[in-house]
Amino acid sequence: MLRVGDLDRSLAFYCDVLGMKLLRKHEYPSGEFTLAFVGYGEESENAVLELTYNWGRVSYTLGDAFGHVALGVDDIYATCEAIRAKGGKITREPGPMKHGSTVIAFVEDPDGYKVELIQTKR
C-alpha cells in the first residue's frame, strides 16, 4: 500500500505510464479516504498495488524503512522508452545492477516513490 497525495495523478502514472489497470476503487466518506487497487491482471491471479488517498492530505514524508516497489518486465529498454515517451521520470537508466548481472532501471512516481524495473530472464 502506498499513500498518495493526488489520486488522479497517481492513477494516471500507474495506469497510463506503467500500463496497469484500475481494478477497483472505493470511497470511505466516514473515514475520509479512498482506496484504489491497480495491477496488470485480476486480483485472484496477480499481485496488486493499493493506493490510499487520505482526503485533504497532499504529501507525505517517505519513510526510511520503505525501499521501492519492483516490477518484472520483458524488455527493460523498450519499457523505459515507453515510460519516458509518456512523461515518466527515469531515475536510473537500464543497466546491470552493481553487484550482479541482472539488468534493472528505476522510475519515480508522482509522489516520489521509486519503482524498480527488473529485466525478466528469457
- Catalytic machinery residues: 116
Q: Hey, what's the cell of 28?
A: 470511505
How many other C-beta atoms are found inside a 10 Å radius of the C-beta of residue 73?
A: 21
**How far is residue 111's CA from residue 61's CA, in Å, rounded to a whole number?**
10
Residue 112 backbone class (left: φ over 0; alpha: ψ -120 to 50; beta: rest): left
Q: Rounded to whole angstroms, what are the CA distances from 32 to 14, 26, 29, 74? A: 22, 11, 5, 39
Comparing CA positions, the residue from 113, 107, 3 lying closest to residue 68 is: 113
